[in-house]
Amino acid sequence: MSGTTTSVTERAVAFIERVGFDDLPDEALRIGRRCVLDGLGLFVAGAAEESLRILIEEAREQGGRADALLLGAGDLKVPAPMAARVLGTAGHAHDWDDTQVSRDPRHQYGLLTHPTIPPLVAALAVGQRQGGASGRDLMLAFLAGFEVESKISEWMLPEHYRRGFHSSGTVGTFGAAVAAAKLLGLTGERLACALGIAASMASGIRVNFGTMTKPLHVGRAAENGVTAALLAARGFTADPNGLDGPWGFFSVHGAGLSEDKTTEGFGNTWSIVEPGVSIKPYPSGILTHQSMDAMLRLVREHDLAPEQIEKIAFFAGGNILKPIRYPIASNHLEAKFCMPALLAMIVLRRQAGRLEFSDAFVASDAMQTMQRRIRTEIDPAIETQGTDRIRSRIELTTRDGRRLVAWADERYRGGPDNPMSDADLEAKFRACTDGLLDEARQAGIIETVQRVETLADATRLAELIQPQGAAR
């Protein structure tokens, strides 16, 4: 379907119905396998978080139909939406999951959606509920969900984010609904209703950044998307144009959409390929990474020890310093949205990974002292250059009087213009899973994902990522 008389929802339905595995570009599959491996590692890492302990405990007590494995609970199975809630929250618990890229200067850089986790979770949970899903079917469902989610996010006006919505929670709901609907075989009115139900269930607001509820946005997106598809499969109704019109998702959540963009349609160019996806090198808001790399270059080039540093001034635009809002972090969740904490980690450890993002380390005397040597300031000159790129400057003063300056590199490490190598991605996977999976299990998952399309039942991946020693 095409043309201005056809709604976006109708075009989405037509795409989801017709797309088959043979329509997937080789490059989309290649990048998709990388995103799957990244996501699996993040599920494992997230399972060790306190927020997941609470969610797993709640799911155990609630119980229900044995559809899909409950992460962190051995061989215990629970209803698919509940399994999706836990798995999705784990995938975003460290804020280390990939980020959609946009070339549109009207969008704020990095503030679209984290596209992988909701559709990947839905594919795993619903695939298990269906008694298994082949690797081809799982990758088709995942990439179809990724595509629809990303296009909705790209086409929506930037007002969505400015209003305070968290698009990974809102738009992610559609990614999960599409993946689930594809595996359930929904078509026509029932497929349209799944999207309509998802439109009413999409939620997540930025006030909860820096708390356990921020990753729950993604868990709920996965849960709600699965629920929307399951209800639609039973005949539950919704408006068949839930994305469109004055009361549809685009209008209510984001003051409309860029009509000119919708002419590209779904699946003609695949968003995972162009403009692409960023795989995160650090478990913090993507807006911080270029600046963290600049800090890392500075301390390495000058071989700076923490005790040599008198003070650090960080200059950026409001696109960084408004959402990265904590002046001092007292715990690891706040640290993900606190520029002084992130720069302090680099100064103290020359890295910022799973081990640095612990409450004990963030609350340590060394971290608290170093954070207080770092001030942040909105720079009007940087502000006037726009928000489509990350631009920031670090001015560091040493105790012996030297003034050292570093600018952030606008070519984001991990993004499509400067991607992680496969070796770097595998190293990230191991960093996420060290102490939770043994080396043999790690190697087995990496090898399995590399040939995922050949698997008779790809949902076995849900068994492989269960943290070893998880209670049964």
pLDDT at 415: 87
Burial track 272-292 (b if 16+ CB lie within 10 A, e otherwise):
bbebbbbbbbbbbbbbbbbbb
Dist CA 153 CA 189 (whole Å)? 23
Q: What is the pLDDT of residues 332-364, one digit of tens each?
A: 999 999 999 999 999 999 999 988 999 999 999
CA distances from 251 to 108, 151, 237 (A): 19, 16, 21
pLDDT at 3: 40
Are both 272 and 399 inside the same structural domain? no
Are both 223 and 170 inside the same structural domain? yes
Are both 134 and 192 inside the same structural domain? yes
Q: What percent of the chain is helix, strand and coil (3-state, nearest 5)?
A: 55, 10, 40
Average pLDDT, the chain: 94
Are both 192 and 312 inside the same structural domain? no
Where residue 323 falls among pLDDT bands split at 50, 70, 90?
confident
Are both 434 and 392 inside the same structural domain? no
Are both 353 and 225 inside the same structural domain? no
One-letter amino acid at 243 equals: L
CATH for 368: 3.30.1330.120
Q: Is the pLDDT of residue 469 over 70?
A: no
Are both 276 and 290 inside the same structural domain? no
Are both 141 and 43 inside the same structural domain? yes
- 358 within domain boundaries: yes
- 42 within domain boundaries: yes
pLDDT at 5: 65
- Examine the fold and report which residue of 407, 438, 456 is the final residue of a domain before the chain moves on: 407
One-letter amino acid at 245 equals: G
- 470 within domain boundaries: no
- 416 within domain boundaries: no
- 16 within domain boundaries: yes
Q: What is the pLDDT of residues 42-71, one digit of tens each?
A: 999 999 999 999 999 999 999 999 999 999
Q: How many domains does the chain have?
A: 2
pLDDT at 111: 66
Are both 274 and 293 inside the same structural domain? no
Q: Is the pLDDT of residue 288 over 80?
A: yes
Are both 446 and 364 inside the same structural domain? no
- Which residue segment(s) compose the domain that 47 sits in? 8-280+422-464
Are both 52 and 200 inside the same structural domain? yes
- Examine the fold and report which residue of 382, 407, 432 is the final residue of a domain before the chain moves on: 407
CATH for 94: 1.10.4100.10
167 or 112: which leads in pLDDT: 167
Q: What is the pLDDT of residues 401-459, one digit of tens each?
A: 999 999 997 777 888 988 999 999 999 999 999 999 999 999 999 999 999 999 999 99
